[in-house]
């Protein structure tokens, strides 16, 4: 069946109103949970094949992330889907006003490769919760996971409502020509522009989950060992291929030596003396990306790490001190296990450093100084933030997830995801009681005066 036939089939099914039924939605959501749980080992194997993902990491960030999401959404769905009453002013009285969340139709979900299971199924959970049909397109750069999703989704979910399309640019381009009711894209900013241009042709709303350079500021008051442990975990998980991983650290001169020592100790503690042999350390997704990341090491001072083996897609956990700010390492999103540390003067210059660059997806601060932390929250614009940790906001189901400016638009996770894929329809309901004649023609001085008075 062609893509446009599948799309037409979903639109027809959507018109049958089946997806508006909360019981149907919950059944489909429970099926996603079954899909993840009953095939857990197959997913862990596929994620190992695609990214050398250690099983524990794959389980926490992909399998259990999705099942936890289903549990949370199913618990809250009745409340989110209820009409939301608002006050009705005198001019519209007597009457009742409310917001009725309604599904949008058929949504296209285009996933990225770094969390290839989560980035298809978590958006799908939000899309189903809101009562939509969907066509999903997993990333071709994680082929084992893409294949598994293509095999399992038709077995578990209602085929009238959901289709998986495997493929790359050609298939995605063909899908983007269809008049979807919403497009959700996760990936890089360049392709996001292609997606948005295609969506504009059909006036389709888009949710864009993108990346960027997420900074970490470490202040002299921070607990150095806890700071290093949390940063090391967030940076070197999935070999640095996490959109909300710390991209680089900014800190003062006095902090460089103790921070580097603590980070080195964490690398050894987490991955042993030779991280290449560690079962807790992943691989780069393919040789092209491994080569791209390795090239960031040209003409910079490597403090620790720096070894790479492109053929086996390995790049060591690496720290680089004060690379030139105009080097590719400090211009591009690294999306790999290299951690630059930049010296800055003080907190004000740290803020200026971040403010003078594109708005990042995340911006982290480690400090015991409450005023500084508050100033960071108040003044630094980013998709998300953590104070004294990295990434962990993502473990809070009711915190919306999404970027700002170049790091994305639209949000999902929890209620934000439900609202994002719903249309929040405004409704006013009035009885047949006779109206005061003021709003109707013929207009008069008296009616005008009265209107001014009641406003």
Site for ligand NAD, rule CB under 6 A: 110-114, 119, 137, 139-141, 168-169, 172-173, 186-188, 191, 194, 209-211, 243, 333, 335, 361, 403, 408
Structure tokens at 108: 């296209």
**Which helix (H) or strand (E) element contains residue 263?**
helix 253-271
Whose Cβ is closer to ligand NAD: residue 347's or residue 393's?
393
**Closer by beta carbon to ligand NAD, 28 or else 407:** 407
CB 66 within 8 A of CB 32: yes
Burial of residue 449 (CB within 10 Å: 0-12, 13-18, 19+) is: exposed
Nearest to ligand NAD of 187, 305 (CB atom): 187
Catalytic residue among 133, 243, 373, 386: 243
Least gap, CB of 11 to ligand NAD (angstroms): 22
Q: Please say whether the beta carbons of 225 and 248 come within 8 A.
A: no
Strand spans (E) along 12-152: 84-86, 96-103, 106-110, 133-137
Output the six-digit token pair for 403: 């970027």
Shortest Å, Cβ 10 to ligand NAD: 19
Query: What is the nearest approach in angstroms of ligand NAD to the Cβ of residue 409?
Result: 11
Nearer to ligand NAD, 275 or 417 (CB): 417
User: Least distance from C-beta 188 to ligand NAD, angstroms?
Assistant: 3
| CA–CA separation, 27 and 33 (whole Å) | 10
Angle at 112 between CA 294 and CA 152, to 5 degrees: 130
Q: What angle do CA 7, 12, 15 make, to 5 degrees?
A: 130
Task: Please return the burial class of 452, using the count of CB atoms within 10 Å of its CB with bins 0-12, 13-18 and 19+.
Answer: exposed
DSSP label of 63? I
- The answer to whether 243 is a known catalytic residue is yes
Measured from the CB atom, the residue of 112 and 262 that comes closer to ligand NAD is 112
The residue of the chain with the least Cβ separation from ligand NAD equals 211
Of 317, 291, 290, 313, whose CA–CA distance to 303 is shortest?
Answer: 317
The secondary structure of the chain in percent helix, strand, coil, rounded to multiples of 5, reads 50, 15, 35
Is the bond leading into 94 cis (omega within 30 degrees of zero)?
yes
**In the complex with ligand NAD, which residue's Cβ is closer, 10 or 289?**
289
Annotation says 209 is catalytic: yes
Which C-beta is closer to ligand NAD: that of 167 or that of 205?
Answer: 167
401 conformational bin, left if phi > 0, alpha if psi -120 to 50, beta if neither: beta
Tokens standing for 187? 């990936």
Q: For strand 96-103 and strand 422-429, is the pairing parallel, antiparallel, or unpaired? A: antiparallel
Shortest distance (Å) from residue 419 CB to ligand NAD: 17
Least CB distance from residue 115 to ligand NAD, whole Å? 6
Q: Are 119 and 125 in contact (CB under 8 A)?
A: no
Residue 36 tokens read as: 């993840």
Single out the catalytic residue among 40, 74, 166, 209: 209
Please, what is the minimum distance in Å from the beta carbon of residue 23 to ligand NAD? 30
Which residues are the active-site residues? 209, 243
């Amino acid at each position: 069946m062609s893509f446009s036939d599948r799309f037409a089939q979903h639109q027809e099914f959507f018109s049958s109103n089946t997806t508006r039924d909360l019981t149907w939605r919950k059944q489909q959501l429970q099926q996603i949970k079954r899909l993840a749980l009953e095939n857990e080992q197959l997913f862990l194997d596929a994620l190992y094949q695609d990214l050398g993902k250690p099983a524990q990491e794959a389980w926490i960030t992909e399998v259990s992330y999705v099942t936890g999401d289903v549990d949370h959404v199913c618990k809250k769905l009745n409340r989110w889907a209820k009409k939301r009453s608002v006050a009705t002013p005198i001019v519209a009285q007597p009457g009742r006003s409310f917001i009725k969340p309604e599904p949008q139709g058929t949504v296209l979900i285009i996933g990225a490769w770094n969390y290839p299971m989560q980035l298809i199924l978590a958006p799908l959970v939000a899309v189903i919760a809101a009562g939509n049909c969907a066509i999903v397109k997993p990333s071709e750069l994680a082929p084992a996971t893409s294949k598994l999703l293509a095999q399992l989704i038709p077995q578990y979910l209602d085929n009238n409502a959901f289709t998986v399309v495997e493929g790359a640019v050609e298939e995605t381009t063909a899908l983007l020509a269809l008049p979807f009711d919403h497009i959700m894209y996760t990936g890089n900013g360049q392709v996001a522009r292609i997606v948005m241009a295609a969506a504009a042709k059909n006036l389709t709303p888009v949710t864009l989950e993108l990346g960027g350079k997420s900074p970490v500021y470490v202040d002299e008051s921070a607990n150095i060992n806890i700071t290093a442990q949390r940063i090391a975990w967030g940076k070197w998980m999935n070999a640095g291929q996490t959109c909300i991983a710390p991209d680089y650290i900014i800190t003062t001169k006095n902090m460089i030596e103790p921070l580097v020592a603590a980070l080195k100790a964490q690398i050894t503690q987490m991955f042993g003396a030779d991280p290449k042999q560690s079962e807790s350390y992943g691989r780069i997704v393919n040789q092209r990306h491994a080569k791209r990341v390795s090239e960031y090491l040209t003409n910079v001072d490597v403090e620790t790490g720096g070894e790479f083996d492109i053929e086996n897609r390995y790049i060591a956990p690496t720290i680089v001190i004060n690379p030139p700010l105009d080097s590719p390492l400090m211009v591009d999103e690294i999306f790999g296990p290299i951690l630059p540390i930049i010296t800055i003067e003080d907190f004000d210059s740290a803020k200026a450093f971040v403010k003078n660059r594109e708005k990042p997806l995340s911006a982290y601060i480690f400090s015991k100084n409450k005023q500084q932390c508050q100033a960071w929250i108040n003044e630094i614009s980013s998709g998300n933030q953590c104070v004294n940790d990295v990434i962990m906001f993502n473990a809070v189901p009711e915190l919306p997830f999404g970027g700002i400016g170049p790091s994305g638009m639209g949000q999902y996770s929890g209620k934000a995801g439900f609202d994002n894929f719903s249309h929040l329809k405004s409704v006013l309901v009035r009885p047949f009681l006779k109206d005061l004649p003021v709003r109707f023609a013929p207009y008069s001085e008296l009616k005008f005066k009265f209107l001014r008075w009641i406003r």
